[in-house]
Amino acid sequence: MGTLALLLLAPGAFAQEPAALPAFLMERLEINPGPGPLATGGGTVLRAAELRVLILGHYQHEPMTLNAKGETMPILTSRTTGVLAVALGLSSRLQIDARIPVLTQREGDDLASQGLLGPTRHGVGSPRVGARVGLLRTEEDDAVDLASEVSVYLPFGTQGAFARGADTSILARVMVGGMLGSILAPSFELGVLVRRGVTIEVPTLEARELGSELRLGAGLMTTGAPLRAEVAINAALSWKQARGAVEVLGGARYAPREGVELFALGGLGFGSEPGIPLFRLVAGVAFNSLLGEDTRPDSDTSIVHESVPLPTPAPNRRVSDMQGSMIPNPGEASPVANVSRDKFVLDGRVYFRVGSSELPESSPDLERAVELMLTNPSVKLMTVDGHTDDSATETFNPRLGRARAEAVWRYLVERGVSPQKLRLRSYGPEHPAQSNGTVEGREKNRRVELLLMLPTNLEATP
C-alpha cells in the first residue's frame, strides 16, 4: 500500500510521454538549378559540359500550422535553410543535378503541452538527385523548349527536422517554355510527387494526412541583360485528401560579371498545407562555367569564316541605278570572296550588344548585302546565321541567336530582298568565331553571319 501511495503522489507519474511527429519532407519550392526561371523549370537544359553551382539561403515564416481546439497553432514559427545545388550538362539534351539542404535555424511554440516533441533545430535534409532530358529546343527551330525531369529524394538526413522522408520519394515533371515577343519568356510545368502517406495524429490536434500530390506551375520572366525579373504561381493538390495550396512568387536576377549571377525571390502562400509558408524569402548566388572549353575558332566546314569584305556600294547610289553583277563569271576573279559555283562566303557580319537582338544603328555590311542580292538574280539563297557568345547572360535566352537572325531577315526583306531567297539558322554559342576567353572575342561572337549560295538543292525557309 505504501508503494502505491508514493506512485499516486509522485508528480507526472502517469504523464503521457511526448510523441514525435512522423518523418516527412515538408519543402515544396524547388529552385531550378539549370537555365531558365528560378521557380519553374522552363523546359531548357544546360549546354554540354556546362557546370552551374547555386548557393542560397531560404527563410520561411510559419511553414507548418495545425488546428488545436479551433485555433491555429504554428508547429514552426520560422525556419531557415541553406542549400547547395550543382547541375551539369552531359550533352545538349541531358542535364543531371544534385542538391542538399542544411537546416540552420527554426523557431516554434512549446509543443509539450500538446503532447509533442518539438522539431529539431538544426540538421541535414534529404539529398535530392535528378536528371532532365531536353525533348524540344528552340535553338534547333522547335516551337518551344520542352523537357522532362525525374528527381529522387533519398531517405537520409536528420530525424525530426521535417526535411526527410521515411522512404524514397520521386518527383516527375514535364516543363515547357518559349518566347513571347522579344523579351518575355513564359513557362509552365506539370508534376507528380509520389511518396508514402503519413498521418499526423495527436489527440489535441487535428489529424492531418500527407501523401502523393499533383503539382502545377506557371511563370513569366524577362530575358534582358544584365537585370532580369520573373513572377510565378505554384500550386499543389493532394488528390487523396482533396486539399490544395497556392503560392505566388516574384523575384529578380542580376549578373554583375560573366559567370556570376545574384538572385532573390519572395512569395506569399495561401493554404494550410505543410510547406506552404505565410511568406518566404530566398536569396543566393549562382556560378556558371564551361568545363573543358574549346576556345579555338569553329572548324565546322558548314560555317566558314573568311576575312574578305563585301564590296562597298558607290556613294549616293540608288537601288534603281544598280546594274550588272558583283558575281564573277566562271574563271574570273571575285571582288567579293573565294567563289566556287556551289557557294561562296562573304564576311558580312552584324554585331550585337550583350543579351540583345536589336540591330545596331548602322551596319555597312547589311547595306552591301542588300545591294548584292538586288543586283544579282543568280544568287538563289542567302543563309542568315545567328550566333551568341557563351556567357550566362547570352545563353539564358535560348532563342537569342534565332532572334538576331530574324532581325537581320526583317531588315533585308523590308529593303526588297525576296524572303524566298533567305534561310534562317541559329547556332547559339556552338560556333565561336573567336575565343570566348576574352572580352574582345565575345564581342565578335555576338553576331549574325551571311552566307550566299549560287543555285543548289537547298530551299529557302524564312
CATH code for the domain of 357: 3.30.1330.60
Q: Calculate the alpha carbon distances from 180 to 39, 64, 127, 143, 290 in Å.
A: 18, 37, 36, 11, 28
Examine the domain organization and report whether 357 and 401 are in the same domain: yes
Examine the domain organization and report whether 326 and 274 are in the same domain: no
115, amino acid identity: G
| Residues 27, 22: Cα–Cα separation, whole Å | 15
Examine the domain organization and report whether 247 and 326 are in the same domain: no
| Residues 97, 53: Cα–Cα separation, whole Å | 10
> Do the domain assignments include residue 147?
yes
Examine the domain organization and report whether 283 and 428 are in the same domain: no
67 strand-pairing partners: 72
Q: What is the DSSP letter of 330?
A: T
Examine the domain organization and report whether 245 and 156 are in the same domain: yes
Q: What is the DSSP letter of 365?
A: H
| Residues 354, 425: Cα–Cα separation, whole Å | 20
Return the H-helix or E-strand segment holding 244. strand 243-257
Examine the domain organization and report whether 188 and 60 are in the same domain: yes
Examine the domain organization and report whether 78 and 195 are in the same domain: yes
Structural domain including 227 reads 50-290
- Dihedral sign computed on CA atoms, order 324, 327, 332, 337: positive
> Do the domain assignments include residue 296?
no
Three-state secondary-structure class, residue 290:
strand
The CATH number given to whatever domain includes residue 159 is 2.40.160.40
Q: Regarding beta strands 422-428 and 447-453, do their DSSP bridges make them parallel or antiparallel, or are they unpaired?
A: unpaired
Contacts for 180 with CB less than 8 Å, ≥ 6 apart: 186, 220
- Dihedral sign computed on CA atoms, order 339, 343, 345, 346: positive
Among 252, 270, 290, residue at a domain's last position: 290
Please state the domain count of the chain: 2
| Residues 147, 135: Cα–Cα separation, whole Å | 5
Q: Please, how many CA atoms are within 13 Å of residue 290, restricted to the half-sphere of its CB?
A: 18
Examine the domain organization and report whether 260 and 220 are in the same domain: yes
Examine the domain organization and report whether 284 and 329 are in the same domain: no
Examine the domain organization and report whether 252 and 347 are in the same domain: no
Three-state secondary-structure class, residue 102:
strand
**Residue whose C-alpha cell reads 510547406 in the numeric block:** 275
Q: Calculate the alpha carbon distances from 128 to 25, 234, 297 in Å.
A: 11, 20, 38
194 strand-pairing partners: 170
Backbone angles phi, psi at 9, to 5 degrees: -80, -20
Among 244, 272, 290, residue at a domain's last position: 290
What is the number of other CB atoms lying within 10 angstroms of the CB of residue 142? Answer: 15
> Do the domain assignments include residue 259?
yes
| Residues 201, 217: Cα–Cα separation, whole Å | 31
Q: At what angle do helices 364-375 and 400-414 cross, to 10 degrees?
A: 50
Please count the residues of the chain. 462
> Do the domain assignments include residue 42?
no
74 neighbors 110 (Cβ within 8 angstroms): no
> Do the domain assignments include residue 22?
no
Would you state the pLDDT for residue 59?
A: 96
Spell out the per-residue pLDDT of the chain, length 462, in tens.
444 444 444 444 444 566 667 778 888 888 999 888 999 888 889 888 889 999 999 999 998 887 766 677 777 889 999 999 999 999 889 999 999 999 988 887 666 666 666 677 788 989 999 999 999 987 666 778 899 999 999 998 888 777 888 889 999 999 999 888 767 889 999 999 999 888 877 666 677 788 889 999 999 998 766 788 999 999 999 877 667 899 999 999 998 887 889 999 999 999 878 888 999 999 999 998 878 644 333 333 333 333 333 334 444 444 333 333 333 344 443 333 333 444 444 557 888 888 788 888 877 878 888 888 888 777 778 888 888 887 766 666 667 888 888 888 888 888 888 888 888 887 778 788 888 778 888 888 888 988 775 544 444 444
253 strand-pairing partners: 228, 263
Q: Please, how many CA atoms are within 13 Å of residue 125, restricted to the half-sphere of its CB?
A: 27
Query: Shortest CA distance to 177 belongs to which of 147, 145, 215?
Result: 145
79 neighbors 48 (Cβ within 8 angstroms): no
Would you state the pLDDT for residue 216?
A: 95
Contacts for 390 with CB less than 8 Å, ≥ 6 apart: 47, 290, 293, 429, 432, 436, 442, 445
Examine the domain organization and report whether 55 and 180 are in the same domain: yes
Examine the domain organization and report whether 75 and 143 are in the same domain: yes
Contacts for 154 with CB less than 8 Å, ≥ 6 apart: 126, 127, 128, 129, 168
| Residues 360, 351: Cα–Cα separation, whole Å | 7
> Do the domain assignments include residue 224?
yes
Contacts for 306 with CB less than 8 Å, ≥ 6 apart: 337, 338, 345, 346, 347
405 neighbors 386 (Cβ within 8 angstroms): yes
